[in-house]
A = this chain, B = another copy of it.
Amino acid sequence: MSDDTTGDWQRTTIDSAQAAAHPETAAAVAQIGGLRQSIDNIDAAIISLLAERFKATARVGVLKAGAGFAPEDTKREHYQITRLHRIAEDAGLDPQIAEMYREFVVTEAKKRHQRIADAGGDPGVLDVYA
């Protein structure tokens, strides 16, 4: 058992070296590898959906700036909070996670709406990521 693969409660790299060093836990290492592949696939799907979400909110930002509407819409936010909480419970996800997700995307979308408004409604201010 080499030093760099012995148990370190601060961090553990789970790979073939770890499996070789701990043959008694090789099955767990293999199962973790399979789960991580699923996690990576889920992440790829979520990143693609986030790309679509920010494309849509950039368009909303341009429309809002053109109409003179504010980046913030508290009524809309209350609706989103209630709805996402319910969807999370149905899906078996801790609603706290759903609320952290909502805060993250709404905060970033509002920042971008403000930048579009400051640029006179030009989504080009978001560079290639509008």
From B11, B29, B39, B98, give the contact of A70 (CB < 8 A): B11
Interface string of A1-42 (1 = CB under 8 A from B): 000000111111111001000100100110110011011101
Known A-B contacts A74-B13, A104-B104, A108-B100; the reply to A43 vs B35 at CB < 8 A is no
How far, in whole Å, are A43 and B83 apart by their CA atoms in the complex? 10
Known A-B contacts A32-B64, A47-B98, A97-B108; the reply to A129 vs B92 at CB < 8 A is yes
Which B residues are in CB contact (< 8 Å) with A47?
84, 87-88, 91, 93, 98, 101
A interface residue count range (under 10 / 10 to 19 / 20 to 34 / 35 or more)? 35 or more
Known A-B contacts A76-B13, A93-B129; the reply to A60 vs B35 at CB < 8 A is yes
Known A-B contacts A67-B22, A93-B50, A129-B93; the reply to A72 vs B11 at CB < 8 A is yes
8 new A-B contacts at CB < 8 Å, known A10-B70, A18-B69, A55-B92: A12-B69, A31-B59, A31-B63, A46-B53, A49-B49, A51-B93, A54-B93, A54-B97
